[in-house]
Amino acid sequence: MSREQSRIRVLSVIGSMHGGGAERQLFEILHRLNRDRFELELYLSHREGELLDKLPTDNPIHSFWDGYAGTIRSKWDHLLGRTNQSRIGHLAQTIHRRKIDLVYDHCYLATLDAAQATFKSKVARVSVAVIDPQSEVHFYSGGHPAHELQKASRAYATADAVIAVSDGVKRGLIADLAVPPEKIEVIFNMIDVEKALELSLAPGPDFEVEHFHIVTVGRLVEQKGIDLALAGLNILVNQRGLKNLRWHFVGDGPLKKDLHQRAVSLGLEQYTSWHGYQSNPYPFYRAANLFVLPSRYEGFGCVLIEALACGIRVVATDCPSGPSEILEDGQYGTLIPVESPLDIADAVQKAATRARSPEIEATSLRAYVRSRFSYEAGIPRIEQLFERVIASRRCI
């Protein structure tokens, strides 16, 4: 048998390659999977995103919208409400045409599509659940939560295996979606600490030393709680008079204009900076005094391990799910209640006034991240899971 015949052909499925946590994880995984064992292809709903041009050159890319946007069919589909069906059909055709052995879908909407596209085929499927499923069901329910819950349950339960990025996500899959526990494997998101340190040394922001600098990295969407961060900063600056604070937001998203306006309306314009999407956020971690994750919910929280790898102190909401697992219930950072600007303010004020030993603390944080979240530990587990799933299919 030739090398090409013996390799497992894997089609990764995700919406786009923008710079969110799930996209960056898949990006790194695609670079690291063993080419002697796997032949990799990528399916995107939209061929777009900051990471697109940096994908491995041996990874063919397929996209639904490439030959669909602007066509007569797309216009009719839009009028008749059939765009989703056309996208799923295109994915099914791609799986058949490319003779895919295993579909590796990331994120909720990709999982819904992949479940339907592989329903009648014998193609194996491994789904990745990156966020608490109940939060996703609520967000996409459109006023029909029971129907959305049924769809989600069917999509994840029919996968050959489900990777949960945290124990909290696993608990949600079992309790809310009735996914059989034996199908779920917890594999934390990963980071290359040495690469993170190298990237952190690149030219970055010039933060004034006389100020206390806070950084938050994430998409400007409701989930990330940037509005809560602004409310906390309002308490600190306008009620407690802490004028030496500067809060830096690294990321882009649909709420950018609204959040800018809110900062101005609260009189926080000079205390906030909006840096947009940064392909390399690590210099911001290195330059800051504190990292804050004010999210309403997470699946894991990749930015937390990025910050810890750079040796920076962190504050995170104890949201479902991820932060409490990453921070070992507060051992490696401060956990605060969700949806509480007052607790954000208190945690930031405490960090701004607490003495620390930067080098000792940074060394300890990096050692912890290396021991628990390295690619050296995670990638072999993904590869072994793929091979187990294919082997079990061939035994049927």
Task: Evaluate whether the domain defined by 193-372 bears CATH number 3.30.230.10.
Answer: no
Domain ranges in the chain?
3-190+374-394, 193-372
User: In this predicted structure, what is the pLDDT of residue 286?
Assistant: 94
pLDDT value at 351 more than 80? yes
Binned at pLDDT 50, 70 and 90, residue 139 comes out as confident
Cα–Cα distance list, 322 to 21, 132, 171, 263 (Å):
13, 9, 12, 28
* pLDDT tens digits along 238-253: 999 999 999 999 999 9
User: Quick check: helix, strand or coil at residue 138?
Assistant: helix
Q: Which CATH number fits domain 3-190+374-394: 3.30.450.90, 3.40.50.2000, 3.40.50.970, 1.10.340.30?
A: 3.40.50.2000
User: Which residues are within 8 A (CB) of 395 and not within 5 positions of it... i.e. 6 or more apart?
Assistant: none
In the chain, the DSSP E strands lie at 8-14, 38-44, 61-63, 102-106, 124-129, 161-164, 184-186, 212-217, 245-250, 272-276, 290-293, 314-317, 334-336
How many other CB atoms are there within 10 angstroms of residue 143's CB atom? 6
Binned at pLDDT 50, 70 and 90, residue 56 comes out as very high
**CA of residue 286 relative to chain centroid, distance:** 21
Rounded distance between C-alpha atoms, residue 361 and residue 358, angstroms = 5
Could you tell me the two tokens for 217?
A: 């990295």
**Looking at per-residue confidence, does 267 or 358 come out higher?**
267
Mean pLDDT for 179-208 is 94
Rounded distance between C-alpha atoms, residue 279 and residue 282, angstroms = 9
* pLDDT tens digits along 305-315: 999 999 999 99
Mean pLDDT, rounded, of the chain: 93
User: In this predicted structure, what is the pLDDT of residue 321?
Assistant: 80
Tell me if 3-190+374-394 shares its fold with 193-372.
yes
Per the DSSP assignment, residues forming a β-bridge with 63 are 44
Rounded distance between C-alpha atoms, residue 24 and residue 147, angstroms = 31
User: In this predicted structure, what is the pLDDT of residue 44?
Assistant: 97
Rounded distance between C-alpha atoms, residue 226 and residue 218, angstroms = 9
Does residue 199 contact residue 24 with C-beta atoms inside 8 Å? no
Per the DSSP assignment, residues forming a β-bridge with 186 are 164
Q: Which of 149, 118, 103, 164 is nearest to 389 (CA)?
A: 103
The model carries a pTM of: 0.84
